[in-house]
Structure 1
Amino acid sequence: MASSSSSSSSSCSCFVVLLLVFTSFSSVLSSSISHQIPTKNQTLFHPAKELKKLKHIRNYLRKINKPPIKIIQSSDGDVIDCVLSHLQPAFDHPDLKGHSPLEPPERPRGNSNSTEEAIENFQLWSESGEFCPEGTIPIRRTTEKDIYRASSYRRYGRKPIKHVKRDSSGNGHEHAVVYVNGEQYYGAKASLNIWAPRVTDQYEFSISQIWVISGSFENDLNTIEAGWQVSPELYGDNNPRFFTYWTTDAYQATGCYNLLCSGFVQTNNRIAIGAAISPISSYRGKQFDIGLMVWKDPKHGHWWLEYGSGLLVGYWPAFLFSHLRSHASMVQFGGEVVNSRSNSGFHTGTQMGSGHFAEEGFGKASYFRNLQVVDWDNNLLPLTNLQVLADHSDCYDIRQTTNNVWGTYFYYGGPGRNVKCP
């Protein structure tokens, strides 16, 4: 009897096990089938495609994240690598291999800041007074997380191609700028104050910058750009950051932000391009601004960048460009935002500048002051024949004027979506 009972119990147990296995298999099969036949809003997961993407990303990171001789941790979470100058990404370019950074060029003559109090500006990573050693440059480390955050990993570090159209009313880019064109320009200079505008969508940004431009806006546009930007997609936060950009084919295949491709040659060990700026301006409070100057070295033809109180950051080699190899035909100053209309088709609430309109003036609106250009003989000159453009003045506007202290200057910006900007 005991034997029979044991056999019956064993058979029952086997049946239960088989039933569980079958049920589990059916569940897995059903799940597999449901993943193979996606619903309208589903996309297939392709392991091979994801592995290829991961391989591409890691190869890119190995290329741009150079081995540091010192690492500095920033209070905002950035990691700053101190990289030997001759190992920076610029020297991966075929035309720069084996080169070393050039010596500083002759600075343009004339100084609009002679009567101003120099304000030293810092970045968060160097608040403690720690900088990279001489002979190295600070590079903000790029991570896998940075690239996965981007809308397109293949175009990480580049502006969208649709950015090229100057009439931005239909492509999501809106400007409030002043500009000059029609002559030959060899540089530009201005001081602009720093804010932390609200950016309401991860794939939007808010930028305040100088553009040095030549060529057409169709497919051969050459630009050199520098200023500050808030870009959650690029940096993962809402801090205003010092940035540079260049392109020689209207943002299609050449150029990038900061040091995210070979091109810009950095020479300074105290400024990290792409790092957060500190301090920033406050509404009805203290105002902080930075001086920026881009100019063409008369001797070698390279385009140099100066930041703050005379700090040379580095240069864009002349060979990178076609039209800008000789001179610029347009210079712009001002703000730009992306309006993706992601909120049910309404205008974005992404702010430009301080987020307040130009009419509010000093301490409330964002400004550029002491606007100048560089002429063929390396002289800084005040601007004449300025033109003013606000793509949507009910969303972001601009007001330009002149006085004896700030020279040519303007207030600009706005809140984006409001009762007049639905």
Structure 2
Amino acid sequence: MGRRVGFGWSALQGALLVCTVAFAVLSLGVEGMVSKQKLLEVERKLKQLNKTPVKSIQSEDGDIIDCVDIYKQPAFDHPALKNHKIQMRPTPPPAPPPSVEDRKEKDSSAITIVNQTWHRSGSCPEETVPIRRVKKSELLRATSLESYGRKPYIPPANGTKTDQIPGDDDNYAKINGTNILPSALEPNRTTSYLITQAYNYIGASGDINVWNPRVEADDEFSTAQIWVMSGPREEFDSAEAGWMVNPKLFGDRKTRLFTYWTDDSSWKTGCFNLVCAGFVQTSQEVALGAAISATSSEMGQQYQISLSIYMDLDTKNWWLGFGPKNITIGYWPGAIFGYLQHSGTMVKWGGEVYSSKIRGVKPHTTTAMGSGNWASYLWGHACFIQHVRIRDWSLSWKYPEWVYPMADEADCYGVLQNRPHPLDEPILYFGGPGRNNYCP
């Protein structure tokens, strides 16, 4: 009898030990499954990324927004910006794209978003900029600390920057007599977009319809955005802005404002938002990477964000404007670019999906682009970009002379230009569900 009691107590002790260990692992999460060396490296990276704040704001959506001294922001870690003097405003400020109030398409109006979720919890003082704090769990999810916050890139087998797309250049679509840069150059990405090229562009803008698309896997993302680009296919410069759903970067599936840049087609440079040194923020009101306060619903209210990217002709810096009054968020310094120090030679408006399950890989990802509905579904169903504008050496904002809609995988994600009325300018619709009967 005594032995049976002793055996039962031992079994109970063993079960308690297993439960304790399991609870500890669950409590620690990913952190409990990595080496001490990795944790030390993560801590060092966090100190590098998260600058000491003047004030911190706990947003109701779980984000922490740090109000950082404007002169101590991450941009100045870039070697080309060691002696950089902050430019507080464009010189002279260009006339902004026509305001929402001045636009005539009242029958297709959408509410322009000027707020982010964190605004409901506080504001940053003057001479600080709001920066979303990077969490330890986000770094632990990264493939590597070096790749955190970057678009994934797969270099060629020989380790050199060469075209990754076989075939004759004559097979590419042309616009205004010039080959269109295929996004297929960038591995694991598929896009649907409107493109203009073969001129010199010093600005681009548009009103981007905001949705919260399905993203199938944690290592995939979906965007709606504007690209301003220049350079050859294998090493182009790009300044980009829009909204995205990116669970690997942010740890959730919220729709967030983002920027991106690269000066070598994402081979070794560039990143989202302020994760790496580069973009200089000047606004104390807008936080890059923070959640957008409202998203559209099918057959319901439509929301949009107004964005513009334009060059300061004196400093060669590329400014990012936000909202109907074109409030300046900050700029990409001309010093971090090569080709974009002169002008853009290509502008795109549309959406992008990143996944390893695209371009013939079966099954195709079900990550949606835009609203997840086909472009042909139009207003209230499909994602749109309206009031598309470019700025050229005439220094005026205007609809592009030459445009061409393109879709890398038309059976998965479509694109369409549609005129609501014969006298209206076209509205760009794009997106789709990903995997479907025509895209297995």
- Measured against the shorter chain, the TM-score band is 0.7 to 0.9
Q: Contact 1:101–1:266 (CA<8 Å) still a contact in 2?
A: no
Matched residue, 1:356: 373
Counting only pairs closer than 5 Å after superposition, residues 246-285 of structure 1 correspond to structure 2 as 246-285=261-300
Q: Which stretch of the first structure deviates more once superposed, 312-321 or 154-163?
A: 154-163
1:224-260 deviations in whole A, cap 9, x for unaligned? 0100000000001111100001011111221111001
Matched residue, 1:225: 240
Distance in 1 separating the partners of 2:348 and 2:281: 23
Matched, 1:140 2:132: yes
Structure 1 residue aligned with 2:342, among 303, 321, 326? 326
Structure 1 residue aligned with 2:149, among 147, 157, 176? 157
1:130-159 deviations in whole A, cap 9, x for unaligned? 211111000000122101112333200101
1:269-309 deviations in whole A, cap 9, x for unaligned? 11000001011111110000010000000121110000112
Q: Which stretch of the first structure deviates more once superposed, 378-387 or 90-99?
A: 90-99
Per-residue deviation, 1:261: 1.0
Q: Which has the larger radius of gyration?
A: 1
1:24-73 deviations in whole A, cap 9, x for unaligned? xxxxxxxxxxxxxxxxxxxxxxx9x9344333322221111001111111
Q: Contact 2:112–2:306 (CA<8 Å) still a contact in 1?
A: no
Q: Which stretch of the first structure deviates more once superposed, 94-103 or 195-204?
A: 94-103
Give percent identity, aligned residues only. Answer: 40
SS at 2:40 equivalent? helix
Q: Which amino acid aligns with 2:413?
A: Y
Task: Calculate the aligned-residue CA RMSD, in Å.
Answer: 2.4
Aligned length: 374
Unaligned 5+ runs, structure 2: 1-9, 11-31, 156-162, 165-181
Q: Which amino acid aligns with 1:115?
A: R
Matched, 1:335 2:335: no
Matched residue, 2:14: none
SS at 1:389 equivalent? strand
Per-residue deviation, 1:367: 0.2
Distance in 2 separating the partners of 1:178 and 1:115: 21
Distance in 2 separating the partners of 1:136 and 1:305: 18
Per-residue deviation, 1:103: 2.6
Q: CA, structure 1 residues 405+291, in 2 after alignment: closer, same or farther (shift >3 Å)?
A: farther
Per-residue deviation, 1:407: 3.1
Matched, 1:418 2:436: yes
SS at 1:301 equivalent? coil
Structure 2 residue aligned with 1:187, among 203, 210, 216? 203
Structure 1 residue aligned with 2:404, among 387, 394, 410? 387
Unaligned 5+ runs, structure 1: 1-19, 21-46
Matched residue, 2:93: 107
Per-residue deviation, 1:214: 0.7
Per-residue deviation, 1:335: 0.4
Per-residue deviation, 1:170: 8.9
Distance in 2 separating the partners of 1:312 and 1:351: 30
SS at 2:146 equivalent? helix
Per-residue deviation, 1:406: 6.3
Matched residue, 1:124: 117
SS at 1:133 equivalent? coil
SS at 1:121 equivalent? coil
SS at 2:208 equivalent? strand
Distance in 2 separating the partners of 1:287 and 1:396: 21
Structure 1 residue aligned with 2:213, among 180, 186, 197? 197
Distance in 1 separating the partners of 2:438 and 2:213: 20
Q: Which amino acid aligns with 1:93?
A: H
Per-residue deviation, 1:321: 0.5
Matched, 1:237 2:252: yes
Matched, 1:375 2:383: no
Structure 2 residue aligned with 1:299, among 314, 328, 332? 314
Q: CA, structure 1 residues 169+200, in 2 after alignment: closer, same or farther (shift >3 Å)?
A: farther
Q: Which stretch of the first structure deviates more once superposed, 88-97 or 240-249?
A: 88-97
Per-residue deviation, 1:409: 2.1
Q: Which amino acid aligns with 2:435?
A: R
Per-residue deviation, 1:95: 3.3
Distance in 1 separating the partners of 2:130 and 2:422: 38
SS at 1:54 equivalent? helix
Q: CA, structure 1 residues 235+110, in 2 after alignment: closer, same or farther (shift >3 Å)?
A: closer
